[in-house]
Amino acid sequence: MRILLSNDDGILAPGLAALRAAVADLGEISIVAPDSPQSAAGHAITLKHPLTVQRVGLGAPEKFWGISVDGRPADCVRLAIRELLDKPPELVLSGINAGQNVGINVFYSGTVAAAAEAAMFNIPAVAFSAATTGGEIDFERAASGCRKVLDRLLAGGLSPGDLINVNVPALAGGEPKGVQVVRQSTAGLEDVYRRRVDGDGGESYRLGDVYKFLPGEADCDVAALADGYITVTPLQVDMTRGDRLKTLKRIMGQ
């Protein structure tokens, strides 16, 4: 199986290395990833400058690791599929992100965007993220959880366009309680902007690093992950709200 790996934390991120090690035996692995951290890039793509690609080697003697792109996660996957790879991948994996990507954060997440880009090409894709309570993330342990989920997904059969969002809970408190397939929460974020006024009267706002979700439904990814479960959520590129189509058609006289 031809597998493309990408992420949003950058080509040298430890989460990507852990993911590569965890899936190395599954086939022919290629890495195309941003040359710098791109967290919260969402599904942005680069229009204003040409994308520079570089072959990245690691170790001594140096071994080819992957191709870096000075763009966004979606750029990496798009460029890889269109130009950089000899043959299109059969599976795209993104991550493992340093930090959870559940609830409405899937919209901000570059990790999810990299996977979503593949889904737009009808290539099955899985995004992996590891939650943290603030300490260092044990990516090796997180990767073993990701691999277990991936094995089940592959055994069950992934379909073209499948876009699966997987989150591993913070492991400081012990092993995950299990795996839960859950909806994406729509709970809002209780984040805070820090206002600053300079001596010359300039005003700025900085988003603080501490944010939490407002209370939401219990049967969703946010709650299950906080409860210590690995969460698995099927997402889709089609953002149409199907239950509103009929009403809107009526309103528009269609």
Contact between 165 and Mn ion by CB under 5 A: the answer reads no
Output the smallest distance, CB 115 to Mn ion, in A.
13
Q: Which of 94, 97, 100, 180 binds Mn ion (CB under 5 A)?
A: 97
Contact between 167 and Mn ion by CB under 5 A: the answer reads no
Output the smallest distance, CB 87 to Mn ion, in A.
28
Q: Segment near Mn ion (CB under 5 A), from 7-15, 65-73, 119-127, 196-204? A: 7-15
Q: Segment near Mn ion (CB under 5 A), from 39-47, 61-69, 133-141, 203-211? A: 39-47
Q: Which of 4, 5, 6, 9 binds Mn ion (CB under 5 A)?
A: 9
What is the CB-side half-sphere exposure of residue 78 using CA atoms within 13 A? 15
Contact between 105 and Mn ion by CB under 5 A: the answer reads no
Contact between 162 and Mn ion by CB under 5 A: the answer reads no
Given the complex with Mn ion, which of 22 and 113 has the nearer CB atom?
A: 113
Q: Segment near Mn ion (CB under 5 A), from 3-11, 16-24, 113-121, 219-227? A: 3-11
The number of residues that bind Mn ion (CB under 5 A) is 4
Q: Segment near Mn ion (CB under 5 A), from 78-86, 94-102, 162-170, 239-247? A: 94-102
Contact between 8 and Mn ion by CB under 5 A: the answer reads yes
Contact between 221 and Mn ion by CB under 5 A: the answer reads no
What's the angle, vertex CA 126, arms to CA 63 and CA 186, rounded to 5?
135
Contact between 185 and Mn ion by CB under 5 A: the answer reads no
Q: Segment near Mn ion (CB under 5 A), from 34-42, 68-76, 159-167, 196-204? A: 34-42
Write the DSSP string, the chain: -EEEEE-SS-TT-HHHHHHHHHHGGGSEEEEEEESS--TT-TT----SSPPPEEEEEETTTTEEEEEEESS-HHHHHHHIIIIISSS--SEEEEEEEES---TTHHHH-HHHHHHHHHHHTT--EEEEEE--SSS---HHHHHHHHHHHHHHHHHH---TT-EEEEEEPP-TTSS---EEE-BPP-PPEE--EEEEE-TTS-EEEEE-S--EEPP--SSBHHHHHHTT-EEEEEE-S----HHHHHHHHHHTT-
Binding positions for Mn ion, rule: CB under 5 A: 8-9, 39, 97
